[in-house]
């Protein structure tokens, strides 16, 4: 939410939760840019269909490139009058444009068309970042699984020593959900990010019988999916995107939890990558905290609540909601930041994970008396590693089943 004169928001505690790159693609400026992309593309396809004069395309397009030049806080404050900033943005565009272009900009569209389409464009950039980090995390997990395929360690169930496993098997157990998360996000990325163009009542009344086709063209121009019909109060795709993001964050949360537990002094089987200053405490110079895992854990907890907001906003009344829709934009940005941050730092953890095979052996030995003969050894740990690696290399992660 917005800062007053006293200063900005989200810069003091935010960086622990997310990356600079994700903060950038979900910033107010990126939203504004996306909203302006919608207006420029709309003018283009409308001119192509003869609905607006082709002479307005240039000026509108030019004006929409000036996204660095708009006063975002002023737009946001003006947005209080209509519960979203689109009305104010269109007014500002009209103020900047020559009369004819001012008349035709935003023609036939409604506020929600702009904001929803911008949301999809912002989501697209954000999902690409999360997917890249998931890919990085999966590569690192696969590498750990392969490298420590046969390294014995004790499996822990209900936080107690169970039978032996291998560290490779543990890493395989991180790898598979990373791939499942990537698969779910890819589906959203490619099949579910749709343009919104319904006009004031979801019927595109101002655009003539070519309206629906125009929506398809707009989708194509913006690289989005053309929906069957406008989805003003069908929030399935928003909630589905949120669900995939929060699942990715949860997978990161699980891995970070495991690493923090392995990093306990008495356990010491693995550690976050060392770096001068990392994990330091303001009072205990000797300490090395699992600061990365803590960041991932914090982001994961935030992601849960942020997703709950999207869910609480899902049942939207009639043709446009009074309150529910308005809760989504900021929330989805925060959710991208939280999930993206959790996944990114998890990729960093996995890529630089310090593994202490000797300590694993020691702790396993500790467990021996209780385990008894433990005839099975590490059982089929290696075989499961191989299955996970084959799945990883196979690339078709959507199903998550074994052939």
* Site residues (CB under 8 A) for a second copy, limited to 269-288: 275, 277-284, 286-288
* Site residues (CB under 8 A) for a second copy, limited to 363-392: 363, 366-367, 370-372, 374-381, 383-384, 387-388, 391
* Site residues (CB under 8 A) for a second copy, limited to 61-120: 72-73, 75-77, 79-87, 90, 106, 108-111, 114
Give burial (CB, 10 Å; 0-12/13-18/19+) of 219.
Answer: buried
220 is a catalytic site residue: no
* Site residues (CB under 8 A) for a second copy, limited to 162-221: 162-166, 169-170, 172-173, 176-177, 180-181, 184, 191-192, 194, 199-207, 209, 211-212, 216
Interaction between residue 265 and a second copy (CB under 8 A):
yes
* Site residues (CB under 8 A) for a second copy, limited to 310-329: 311-327, 329
Separation between Cα atoms, residue 199 and residue 152, nearest integer Å: 62
Q: Which residues, at least 6 apart from 209, have a Cβ–Cβ distance to it below 8 Å?
A: none
Q: Which of 298, 292, 305, 293 is nearest to 335 (CA)?
A: 305
Closest distance to a second copy from the beta carbon of 355 (Å): 15
Answer whether 206's CB lies under 8 Å from 199's CB.
Answer: yes
Closest distance to a second copy from the beta carbon of 130 (Å): 14
CA 143 to chain centre: 24
82 is a catalytic site residue: no
* Site residues (CB under 8 A) for a second copy, limited to 329-348: 329-331, 333-334, 337-338, 341
How far the first Cα of the chain sits from its last, in Å, is 48
From the CA atom positions of the chain, what is the Rg in Å?
Answer: 25
Closest distance to a second copy from the beta carbon of 88 (Å): 9
**Which helix (DSSP H) or strand (DSSP E) does residue 270 occupy?**
strand 270-271
Residue (240 or 357) nearer to a second copy, CB: 240
The one catalytic residue in 149, 320, 333, 337 is 320
DSSP designation for 226 = P
Interaction between residue 59 and a second copy (CB under 8 A):
no
């Amino acid at each position: 939410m917005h800062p007053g004169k006293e200063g900005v928001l989200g810069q003091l505690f935010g960086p622990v939760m997310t990356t600079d790159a994700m903060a950038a693609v979900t910033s107010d400026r990126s939203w504004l840019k996306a909203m302006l992309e919608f207006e420029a593309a709309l003018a283009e396809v409308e001119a192509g269909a003869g609905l607006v004069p082709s002479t307005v395309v240039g000026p509108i397009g030019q004006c929409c490139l000036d996204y660095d030049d708009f006063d975002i806080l002023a737009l946001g404050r003006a947005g209080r009058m209509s519960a979203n900033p689109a009305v104010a943005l269109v007014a500002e565009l009209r103020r900047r444009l020559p009369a004819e272009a001012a008349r035709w900009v935003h023609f036939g569209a409604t506020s929600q068309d702009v904001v929803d389409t911008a949301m999809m464009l912002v989501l697209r950039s954000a999902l690409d970042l999360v997917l890249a980090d998931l890919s990085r995390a999966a590569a690192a997990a696969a590498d750990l699984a392969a490298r420590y395929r046969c390294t014995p360690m004790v499996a822990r169930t209900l936080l107690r020593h169970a039978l032996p496993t291998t560290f490779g098997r543990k890493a395989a157990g991180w790898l598979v959900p990373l791939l499942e998360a990537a698969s779910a996000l890819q589906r959203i990325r490619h099949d579910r990010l749709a343009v919104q163009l319904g006009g004031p009542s979801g019927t595109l009344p101002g655009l003539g019988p070519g309206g629906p086709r125009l929506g398809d063209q707009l989708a194509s121009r913006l690289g989005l999916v053309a929906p069957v019909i406008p989805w003003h109060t069908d929030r399935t795709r928003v909630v589905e995107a949120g669900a995939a993001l929060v699942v990715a964050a949860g997978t990161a949360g699980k891995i970070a939890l495991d690493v923090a537990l392995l990093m306990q002094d008495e356990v010491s089987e693995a550690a976050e990558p060392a770096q001068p200053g990392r994990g330091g405490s303001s009072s205990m110079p000797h300490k090395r905290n699992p600061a990365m895992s803590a960041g991932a854990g914090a982001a994961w907890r935030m992601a849960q609540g942020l997703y709950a907001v999207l869910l609480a906003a899902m049942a939207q009344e009639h043709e446009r909601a009074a309150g529910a829709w308005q809760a989504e934009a900021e929330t989805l940005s925060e959710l991208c930041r939280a999930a993206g941050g959790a996944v990114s730092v998890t990729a960093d953890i996995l890529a630089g994970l310090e593994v202490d095979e000797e300590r694993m052996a020691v702790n396993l030995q500790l467990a021996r008396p209780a385990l008894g003969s433990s005839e099975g050894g590490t059982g089929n740990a290696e075989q499961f590693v191989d299955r996970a690696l084959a799945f990883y290399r196979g690339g078709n992660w959507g199903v998550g089943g074994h052939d």
